[in-house]
Amino acid sequence: MSEAHPQVIGDRPPKGAGDHVAAGASPRESDVRAGRSRSGTQLARARAGLAVLGPVAVLAVWWWVAQSASPLTIPQPVDVARRTVDLMFTAESTHTWTSMVRILVAVVLALAIGSGLVFLARLVPVTESLVTKALLPFLNSVPALGWAILGVIWFGVGNSAVIVVVTLILIPFCMVNMWEGMRNLDTGLQEMARSFTRSRTKMLFRIQVPLLMPYVLAAIRLSFSVGWKVALIAEFFGAQSGLGLVMNRARQSFDTPTVFATIVVVLVIVTVVERLVFDPVSQMFARRSGGGAA
């Protein structure tokens, strides 16, 4: 009787003997990849858990401290939550959304002015030192409180003072982001574009502006969060409405829950806009560019 041999078709090994080889990886490499995948999943779960447990822990500590503290120093979380709801959903929400509109207008103006100055420096090289070494340091060094006081002196108490102050504070943030974007543009793509045209204007609006969109988003994202901080200072001194005015009145009447509530309202709005607007748009730009700046 002849010995029985396993049937081999061509160069394919017996079934089950070379599954890892067929997949283009050795057994050791597959184990390493599986381990990395498990490790990455565990890290993601740990991060998600900390993101939830962190605020819960802070809230628990706050509640515990409030039990023995004076309401004038540390109010009860329930009282703050009640005032937060009032400032977001009742008649008092007018102050919140007034601040929101002012900030949005200021962000648009700051982005337009800041981008215009950066584009001017790029299109007209003789102005580069003026923009980057004189104007930018000046705007970046004036404190928000100084602009707030000047805004009241120049424009009186009202919307104009708040919008101008917030815009002036946000312009440097937009300029820095846009200038950094200009410095990191794809030089290879720009060289290819120069083979078709020598027009600086065409290069700017057809090549550079689309490539700068992730940096535009980064500027808007940063300006929106910083804008809330500046707007409350400006409204504190020179507004007849807005969250800054609410905080000022609460300070005068020692209404600590309302002071806390204004802070919570800003925190909630910025977090919601970050998660529902900026994060999806940032991911979209990252997919298009293979990893954007936003």
Is 72 domain-assigned?
Answer: no
Contacts of 24 (CB under 8 A, 6+ apart): none
49 and 126, same domain (yes or no): no
Does residue 139 share a domain with residue 111?
A: yes
pLDDT on residue 198 = 64
- On whether the CB atoms of residues 83 and 257 are closer than 8 A, the answer is yes
pLDDT for 170-195, tens place per residue? 999 999 998 888 777 766 666 666 66
Taking the C-alpha atoms of residue 161 and residue 182, their distance in angstroms, rounded to an integer, is: 32
Is residue 71 in a domain?
no
Matching residue, tokens 């409030």: 66
> Can you give the residue range of the structural domain that contains 117?
77-289
- Kind and range of the H or E run holding 114: helix 93-123
Same domain, 109 and 142: yes
Same domain, yes or no, for 95 and 191? Answer: yes
Element of type H or E holding 121: helix 93-123
Nearest to 131 by CA among 116, 122, 139, 121: 121
The CATH code of the domain that includes 131 is: 1.10.3720.10
Q: What is the pLDDT of residue 53?
A: 81
Residue 9: what pLDDT?
44
Q: Are residues 42 and 182 in the same domain?
A: no
Q: pLDDT-based confidence at 66, cuts 50/70/90?
A: confident
More confident residue, 201 or 270: 270
Boundary of a domain, candidates 11, 37, 66: 66
Backbone angles phi, psi at 293, to 5 degrees: -80, -15
159 and 178 housed in the same domain: yes
Is residue 125 domain-resident?
yes
pLDDT at 55 (0 to 100): 81
Residues 6+ apart with CB under 8 A from 240: 157, 158
> Which DSSP category does 12 fall into?
P
Could you report the per-residue pLDDT of 240-277, keeping only the tens digit for each?
889 999 999 999 999 999 999 999 999 999 999 999 99
pLDDT value of position 44: 73
Q: Give the whole-angstrom CA distance, residue 107 versus residue 232.
A: 15
**Across 104-119, average pLDDT:** 94
Q: How many domains does the chain have?
A: 2
Task: Report the candidate in 194, 221, 195 with the shortest Cα–Cα distance to residue 208.
Answer: 194
